[in-house]
Amino acid sequence: MAALAFDPEGRILAVVGGDGARQVKFCDVKTGERLPMTIDNVFPGTRLVTELLYSKNGKLLAVRGSGPGAACTFDAATGKRLADVGIPTESMRSLDFNRDASLIATTSTESRVHIWDAATGKKLHTFGDFDVPIMTVAFHPDNRRLAIGGGGGLVQILELPESILQGR
């Protein structure tokens, strides 16, 4: 398997693998049966799915892939593609949803952290040009801060700009 993710209630398991890592399948955890919904050809070309992440409210599924600019969000109930997020010249290392799934944060190989509108894919803010590679990101439950981790033991808390927080 290339990637796995439980929905927040633990009833559905999203699975990628065995098909060239380009298709997301869903299984009922209780019965083990495959559900009818499938997300096909997530990334065209040679990109493979490398990570799956359900939003904390279970409404969205993020899919991260290999190669530059490769992440997208889907409606978790229907499989409908909602948005593509990513910088075409930057590969992603990590991603996380905020509590209400309105935002998604991504880290890049260019030592930046980007904040996106999860439903539209619009880039809202960039925390940039850290001195070390940024490997991981996690939203705080208050939706106002996020933690980043990177090379050299870096752990830092970042405050989201008020312009992002207003209206959310």
Domains contained in the chain, CATH given: 3-165 (2.130.10.10)
pLDDT at 135: 93
Amino acid occupying residue 60: L
3-state secondary structure of 49: strand
pLDDT at 33: 96
pLDDT at 23: 87
pLDDT tens track for 48-89: 888 999 999 999 999 998 877 789 999 999 999 999 998 887
Question: Which of residues 62 and 166 earns the better pLDDT score?
Answer: 62
pLDDT at 19: 59
Has residue 1 got a pLDDT over 80? no
pLDDT tens track for 82-117: 999 988 878 888 999 999 999 999 998 889 999 999
Q: What is the DSSP string of 97-128?
A: E-TTSSEEEEEETTS-EEEEETTT--EEEEE-
